Chain A
Amino acid sequence: MSKSLIQSKNHMSITEETIRHVATLARLDISPGEIQTYTGQLSRILGLMEQLRAIPTEGIAPMSHAVALTLPEREDVAVNPDRREALLANAPDSEEGCFRVPKIIE
């Protein structure tokens, strides 16, 4: 997207609107004061990252794993017994063997 290129030209400055959008994506309730703080801090942190842009990385495969392994597989065996009680024990709110949440509207 061109948006990132435009922003990076004159140092990485993040807008408060971007911060609000990111907070929505991350499901974090943030106060107007925090929006300001994050805008400043994230801009400075992203400023640190600007130096990467100059590194030529064409043809370099992205590295997702620290060690080159291939996926191990397990046999298709069903083992787990019913542990409902133990797994509901930490729930802040539960009812009838289910986790309870505010009404979901679809």
Chain B
Amino acid sequence: MSTESRYETVIGLEIHTQLATRSKIFCGCPNRFGSPPNTQICPVCAAFPGVLPVINKAVLDMAIMTGLALQGEIRTLNEFSRKNYFYPDLPAGYQISQFELPIVEHGFLMIEPEGGARKRIGITRAHMEVDAGKNLHEGIVGASWVDLNRTGTPLLEIVTEPDLRSAAETGAFLKKLRGLVRHLGVCDGNMEEGSFRCDANVSVRRRGETRLGTRAEIKNLNSIRNVMRAIDYEVERQIDLIEAGEKVIQETRLWDANQNHTRTMRGKEEAHDYRYFPEPDLPPVVLTVERIEAIRKRMPELPDEKLIRFQKDYGLGEYDAGVLTADREMADYFEAAVMAARPAEAKSVANWVTVELLGRLNREGMELGQSPVVAEALGKLTRMIHEGIISGKIAKTVFGHMWDGAGDPARIVEEKGLVQVSDQGAIEAEVDRILAAHPDKIAQYRSGKVQLLGFFVGEIMKAMRGKANPGVVNGLLKSKLDG
């Protein structure tokens, strides 16, 4: 048994999702990324003396919706608390957060790790809080700068149970959660810009041990790949420590993507005592069941529900359905394409989306949103195949033209003269011409070399520049050769 396999990894996550509201959580400043420093602050979010917070309704609505999507319980009575600590990016000296009574508790999310079975990951809680500003260090000599633009951005912090057992599971979970919040439209999920941030609590223990090992909290993880790399590194570090007879200490560690390691975080307050107490400036949040149910009703269909529906309604396999429901944009694209085609053609639409379109997007390094081929056009293209107007092969050519910006497939087919020939007479004339030119091959075919059928089809197609209806060609050839 290898050293690694004698240990079990235990991971719990804290995910900070920035809610995609128009304004900040407690003031009317715009909630926007990338403005010049301190241009979207006001006395409230910059914590000037005497100012007071007033909550943004959309924050509560988005928190409720996310909680419902995570199958959690929505607390109809929840409250804000102050978490007290000093840091320049926290202007009030306290963060308005939720402590004893969070808005969401006891949820879960199912994950499908690659090569593994479906697994339920518990969500301990999700609570609303304010984001901090930014301390800027790079390129500044002898000082740091404080930019408070981000201060007051609404966050929903989602805390998982320590249910994850590997970097792969963690990656699968984060992809699933990110897809979910994007799908709900509550967060853009952009890890690089920090709108979807993850801290990982990582510990190891000998297999069979039921108590949790000492954990390290890892911060500064700005991509799912980095989360996975950091976990792998951290697990190895902790196992090495234990194997060497040393102790893992509970601490916060920073992931350094350049050096590919984690290191102790210095400079943060040495005494951690947040002195939580209920926020006196904000009365308790009281939610009605009616409000929660109204949000449930207007909530977009969840990816897991969609997965099942796609299989049932469109007859798709689990894999295709999974790819098409991975995010809302993809699912919407697919369904719009099916609308332009016919429900019966859904499977072939799925094929075109997952193979041709995604393949091309991948090669070009593009996102679905940048696709020059719109869903309706792709649906029409599929429909034209099924109506026998073009062959699948021609369709690929048409798709190429569509990609290059030629637009409507019907027009392309017409302009380029690509309409499939299904006229028996026209095809028969060509079949007769080809057969007459190859009497030797006919003899070989009739003596048992049936694979020569493909040769004849190819010759006819070549002669007709691919426009012949392959079904008709096949039928005529067979009747003439075999008959």
A→B interface (CB under 8 Å): 21, 24-25, 27, 62, 64-65, 68-80, 82-84, 87-88, 95-106
Contact = CB atoms under 8 A, between A and B. Distances in A.
Nearest to B93: A27
16 contacts: A73-B56, A74-B57, A77-B28, A78-B28, A78-B31, A80-B27, A80-B30, A84-B36, A84-B39, A95-B145, A96-B37, A98-B136, A103-B143, A103-B144, A104-B88, A104-B144
Contacts of A24: 271
Contacts of A97: 36-39, 147
Given A82-B39, A102-B143, A75 B31 contact: no
A87 B40 CA distance: 11
Which of A71, A72, A76 lies at the interface centre, i.e. has the most chain B CB atoms within 10 A of its CB?
Answer: A76
B267 interface: yes
Nearest to B143: A100
B41 A103 contact: no
B115 interface: no
B286 A71 contact: yes
B86 A27 contact: yes
A68 B286 CA distance: 12
B29 A80 contact: yes
A83 B59 CA distance: 24
Contacts of B56: 73-76
A60 B54 CA distance: 28
A70 B144 contact: no
Interface of B: 21-23, 27-32, 36-43, 46, 48, 54-60, 79, 86, 88, 135-137, 140, 142-148, 254, 265-268, 271, 273, 275, 277-278, 280, 282-286
A98 B145 contact: yes
B271 A21 contact: yes
Given A74-B57, A78-B30, A98-B147, 20 more contacts: A25-B273, A25-B275, A64-B280, A65-B280, A65-B284, A69-B283, A70-B283, A70-B284, A70-B285, A73-B55, A73-B56, A80-B29, A82-B39, A84-B37, A87-B41, A97-B39, A99-B146, A101-B135, A102-B144, A104-B137
B154 to A, nearest CB: 10
A64 B142 CA distance: 43
A106 B267 contact: yes
Nearest to A74: B54
A64 B284 CA distance: 9
Nearest to B21: A76
Nearest to B147: A98
Contact of A87 (B43, B59, B267, B286): B43
Which of A64, A79, A95, A99 lies at the interface centre, i.e. has the most chain B CB atoms within 10 A of its CB?
Answer: A99
Contacts of A98: 37-38, 136, 145-147
B274 to A, nearest CB: 10
A106 B39 contact: no
B191 to A, nearest CB: 19
Contact of B266 (A62, A83, A105): A105
A75 to B, nearest CB: 6
A91 to B, nearest CB: 9
Contact of B23 (A65, A71, A78, A99): A78
The 3 closest A-B pairs by CB, nearest first: A98-B145, A76-B58, A79-B28
Nearest to A24: B271
Contacts of A83: 41-42
Contacts of B286: 70-71
A103 B137 contact: yes
A18 B276 CA distance: 19
A80 B43 CA distance: 10
A18 B140 CA distance: 38
Given A87-B38, A105-B266, A74 B55 contact: yes
Contacts of A78: 22-23, 28-32
Contacts of A65: 280, 283-284
B37 A82 contact: no
B317 to A, nearest CB: 41
Given A64-B278, A71-B286, A75-B57, A101 B88 contact: yes
Nearest to A64: B278
Contact of B40 (A64, A72, A82): A82
B38 A84 contact: yes
A76 B37 contact: no
A106 B60 CA distance: 33
